[in-house]
Structure 1
Amino acid sequence: MSDKEQLIIFDTTLRDGEQSPGASMTREEKVRIAKALERLRVDVIEAGFPIASPGDFEAVKAVAAGVKDSTICGLTRALDRDIDRAGEALAGAESARIHTFIATSPIHMERKLRMSPDEVVAQAVHAVRRARRYTDDVEFSPEDAGRSERDFLCRILEAVIAAGARTVNIPDTVGYSVPYQFGDLIRTLIERVPNSDKAVFSVHCHNDLGLAAANSLAAVRNGARQVECTINGLGERAGNAALEEIVMAVRTRRDHFDCDTRLDTTQIVPCSRLVSGITGFAVQPNKAIVGANAFAHESGIHQDGVLKSRETYEIMRAQDVGWSENRIVLGKHSGRSAFRARLQDLGVSFASEEDLNAAFARFKDLADKKHEIFDEDLQALVTDTNLDATNERIKLVSLRVCSETGETPKAHLVLAVDGEEKPGISIGGGPVDATFRAIETIVASGTVLKLYSVNAITSGTDAQGEVTVRLEKGGRIINGQGADTDIVIASAKAYINACNKLLLPRERAHPRTGDV
């Protein structure tokens, strides 16, 4: 970075990103994403909210044990039990951080906390001091800072820095700020807090008005040196500032920013695909940096310009963020060693030989259907294998769908439920609708279908289709994913995957006591 200051990238995909309805991740999935973030060279990974549930505690513990080159962080409220639980979860981390928060806006203090400003300051100071029992790296956030009074923010930030907070994070919790206002807030706080030079100022912006990245960058221009963000902008409500947008804006516009990150940007697209595949949240084609159309040119004028000189219409190189023609030369005659080696190149490893064998069997089946297999196919294949491993109480045994012009589509299928094969038949408005109705004749899930989404994993008519379904039952939202070269079969897999998740014990409920 030569003479430029470092901009710390704090990724909260595993915590705030997971709070998107339907985006819950298993412990194993969190570790896979954390490993990808480590390859991306993210500085701090917020792995979860350890007090939220036993499952979240175990996930943070697993990430802390498995990642060595990034600091692992756990979020806590300003409560002793939260902080102690986080300290326990992070005990195995090479580098650990505790991130504690308490609300500071008048409306939150009065109506939610029912505490006076003096009590809030005292609680914040106590929380920072308790967190320092476990680590010297403590971060403090005044929740809803965007709507807090500036004088009070100065007071509480001065107090927590004096108590030992090394990072103070200013969250725009409800996405209410606009760039010039938010940048001015950061500059004012740095200027007015007497001991501001003893801490790194950070920002955490939500995207309710579509301004999360702009607000974050305005803060950086005004002295913030940490940005909290997520892969693909995943997060509650409209999401968070997108990591890829922040990193590439700072790097591309070096003339406007006197800082840079240490990230390996070639890992951005692979990381984006992994998060999208695990959560089932597809990336829109026109999404900046990681969308399929981000470096595509349709206009003849644009195409002509790019062919003559790339810089005429491209401000970044596609290869710099991980776009490439990564194509593997593997087919149905390829062996396990070549298969394993390519997946290792993609950052995928297997916990056991059984997992490798299951993925390899799927690869062989896919090789019989597709002439060319791409890295994206392999990543979807591994994700599909892991989905099956999550819970196999319901399995698709066979499916036959009849659909022709002028006739009502009809689906015949057989499911294995706890080892017992059961047939189902139904008609529907289309082949997918008939298939879902046939599944319901057997499982009777009682759910409502809230989302059905199909995305092609690669190009070509033989491309695998990746299907996401979102089911809702009694306020619980579950995503299911499935991939296959046959869209109807992929749809059935996705629906069954969601039904299997519904049969699992509810491992965690997203905490609603507060959020940054």
Structure 2
Amino acid sequence: MSQRERVTIFDTTLRDGEQSPGCSMTPTEKVRMAHQLERLGVDVIEAGFPVSSDGDFCAVQAVAREVRRPVITALARCRREDVERAWQAVQAAAHPRIHTFLATSDIHLQHKLRISRRECLEQARDAVRSAKSFCDDVEFSAEDATRSDTDFLCEVLQAVVEAGATTVNIPDTVGYTVPAEFAELITRIRQQVRGIERVVISAHCHDDLGLAVANSLAAVHAGARQVECTVNGIGERAGNTSLEELVMIMRVRSDQYPFFADIVSEEIFPASQLLSEITGVSVQPNKAIVGRNAFAHEAGIHQDGVIKHARTYEIMTPESVGVPGTRLVLGKHSGRHALGLRCEQLGFALERRELDAVYRQFVSLADSKKAIEDREILEMIRKQQSTRLPQGSLPLAQAAMPSHEAANESLATQFPLSYLAKGGHAHADRFPPRFVREHDGEQQEDYLWGV
């Protein structure tokens, strides 16, 4: 760990994330989410844009008062009234920061702001000086940095560093850059801006081309030591850098990324679920790390492998990110191993002949359905005259609803089918040894059933 460098996680779920259509939050909801972000271990929480509304001012103020461990920052344009309002909102924080921003690309200067480059530089410098008069910790963002003239961008950064900025943020505001280009820009800034070694370089990437996480990692490789990101990757248009993806890439592939973040990864899934509950916006099923299919397996070969050893098809444990466990989805691609295991979990230890008979019914039904439910498996078992209950097993009526399925209503919504080993992860030693031994010879059948 001593050879790995630390990356500051700047979470902007409550500000840039909230700007995602349909994701607005009340002050109470922002405070609730901020407490979860604190449990998650983020270093900086951008709580909002205080000058934008009285409600957002109150929300930032409440977060600053109640959430004490992380740095709490508020966004401000490069205007005196914005900076003062931001300070009023965060001054009660244990660790306050003012985050001021101004566009530096010619397209923004000419068509949006209608100011010259010189006016841009002066406004940026003056805003940082103003913020510095209130607060020691000041961040400056050069909006649309990746479409800015690099020499002019460096001039602006030079001016704000001299004015006292402690962090300079390089946003890819419209998700335009690509990893090699972004890394080159960070390298150029480090070479060209005097005094840059005294401040933190930050990256803020958007996902318009699907490259936000890749671009952020490229920036870290090039010398950035803060990444701005959001839970579930929510944000303007296509979203922001996904916090969970960034953190777990650095953790799982530390051989390629010798960096770390002080994130409590077991709080990732709870944070994702809470955000979805607050905003009403569900996570796409195939979303990396937190999607409901991230640790789900339907194909027979995959189910067979996971039952025998989880790492055959999982590069991290679900528990490491707070997901209760691996999920085997019983559908038309599933094999006997998964079906037999589910029968045992429902209280029925089937012999090979009995399992074959149930499996034939299962395959026939699975061709006409997306997934097979427990009650349908139980009905198949009922049809077998030779079915026997294992000693001490539950009566059929009770077995139809395993207790763990009703334990957590919100998780049932995200993961509607039963977890392996009653919510545990798919480690081989958690599976019934009788089942694994008896059907060990079926690997080829399950392999052919689905890859």
- TM-score, normalising length from structure 1? 0.64
SS at match of 1:100: strand
SS at match of 2:228: strand
- Structure 2 CA distance, aligned partners of 1:246 and 1:325? 21
Correspondence 1:14 to 2:14: yes
Correspondence 1:131 to 2:131: yes
Correspondence 1:162 to 2:162: yes
Q: Which residue, 412, 416, 430 being the options, matches 1:459?
A: 416
Residue deviations 1:177-214 (CA, integer Å, cap 9, x gap): 11111111111111221211011110111111111111
State the 1:174 CA deviation.
Answer: 0.6
State the 1:458 CA deviation.
Answer: 4.7
- Structure 2 CA distance, aligned partners of 1:93 and 1:375? 38
**Is the CA contact (8 Å cut-off) linking 1:101 and 1:141 kept in structure 2?**
yes
Equivalence for 1:39? 39
SS at match of 1:102: strand
Equivalence for 1:366? none
SS at match of 1:73: strand
Equivalence for 1:431? none
CA gap 1:17/1:316 in 2 versus in 1, 3 angstroms: same
**Is the CA contact (8 Å cut-off) linking 2:318 and 2:325 kept in structure 1?**
no
**Is the CA contact (8 Å cut-off) linking 1:376 and 1:458 kept in structure 2?**
no
Tell me which protein shows more strand as a share of its residues.
Answer: 1
Correspondence 1:286 to 2:286: yes
Amino acid paired to 2:227: V
State the 1:2 CA deviation.
Answer: 2.5
Structure 2 unaligned regions, length at least 5: 327-400, 419-451
Equivalence for 1:203? 203
Equivalence for 1:320? 320
Equivalence for 2:86? 86
Equivalence for 2:214? 214
CA gap 1:375/1:129 in 2 versus in 1, 3 angstroms: farther
Amino acid paired to 1:247: V
State the 1:118 CA deviation.
Answer: 1.2
Amino acid paired to 1:240: N
For the aligned residue pairs, the C-alpha RMSD in angstroms reads 2.0
Amino acid paired to 1:230: T
Which aligned pairs between 1:78-477 and structure 2 lie closer than 5 A? 78-324=78-324, 376-377=408-409, 456-459=413-416
- Structure 2 CA distance, aligned partners of 1:262 and 1:278? 25
**Is the CA contact (8 Å cut-off) linking 1:13 and 1:231 kept in structure 2?**
yes
- Structure 2 CA distance, aligned partners of 1:282 and 1:71? 28
Residue deviations 1:455-474 (CA, integer Å, cap 9, x gap): 9345269xxxxxxxxxxxxx
- Structure 2 CA distance, aligned partners of 1:185 and 1:325? 41
**Is the CA contact (8 Å cut-off) linking 2:292 and 2:414 kept in structure 1?**
no
Equivalence for 1:405? none
- Structure 1 CA distance, aligned partners of 2:265 and 2:87? 31
**Is the CA contact (8 Å cut-off) linking 1:374 and 1:458 kept in structure 2?**
no
- Structure 1 CA distance, aligned partners of 2:186 and 2:226? 12
CA gap 1:460/1:304 in 2 versus in 1, 3 angstroms: closer
Provide runs of 4+ in structure 1 moved above 6 Å.
none
- Structure 2 CA distance, aligned partners of 1:374 and 1:165? 52
**Is the CA contact (8 Å cut-off) linking 2:295 and 2:325 kept in structure 1?**
no
- Structure 2 CA distance, aligned partners of 1:141 and 1:458? 39
- Structure 2 CA distance, aligned partners of 1:374 and 1:133? 55
SS at match of 2:267: helix
Q: Which moved more, 1:244-253 or 1:54-63?
A: 244-253
Amino acid paired to 2:266: T
Residue deviations 1:256-304 (CA, integer Å, cap 9, x gap): 1221000100000000000011011101111000011111122222223
CA gap 1:96/1:248 in 2 versus in 1, 3 angstroms: same
State the 1:374 CA deviation.
Answer: 5.1
Structure 1 unaligned regions, length at least 5: 327-368, 381-454, 462-516
Amino acid paired to 2:52: A
SS at match of 2:297: coil
Equivalence for 1:23? 23
Which has more radius of gyration?
2
State the 1:324 CA deviation.
Answer: 1.3
Amino acid paired to 2:230: T
Amino acid paired to 1:456: T
SS at match of 2:51: helix
Tell me which protein shows more helix as a share of its residues.
Answer: 2
Residue deviations 1:189-245 (CA, integer Å, cap 9, x gap): 112212110111101111111111111111111111111000001111111111000
- Structure 2 CA distance, aligned partners of 1:131 and 1:262? 28
SS at match of 1:161: helix
**Is the CA contact (8 Å cut-off) linking 1:60 and 1:89 kept in structure 2?**
yes
**Is the CA contact (8 Å cut-off) linking 1:50 and 1:57 kept in structure 2?**
yes
- Structure 1 CA distance, aligned partners of 2:146 and 2:407? 42
Equivalence for 2:68? 68
- Structure 1 CA distance, aligned partners of 2:275 and 2:209? 23
**Is the CA contact (8 Å cut-off) linking 2:42 and 2:70 kept in structure 1?**
yes
User: Identity across aligned pairs (percent)?
Assistant: 56
- Structure 2 CA distance, aligned partners of 1:222 and 1:231? 24
**Is the CA contact (8 Å cut-off) linking 2:183 and 2:218 kept in structure 1?**
yes
**Is the CA contact (8 Å cut-off) linking 1:105 and 1:144 kept in structure 2?**
yes
- Structure 2 CA distance, aligned partners of 1:212 and 1:3? 26
- Structure 2 CA distance, aligned partners of 1:323 and 1:460? 13
Q: Which moved more, 1:40-49 or 1:151-160?
A: 151-160
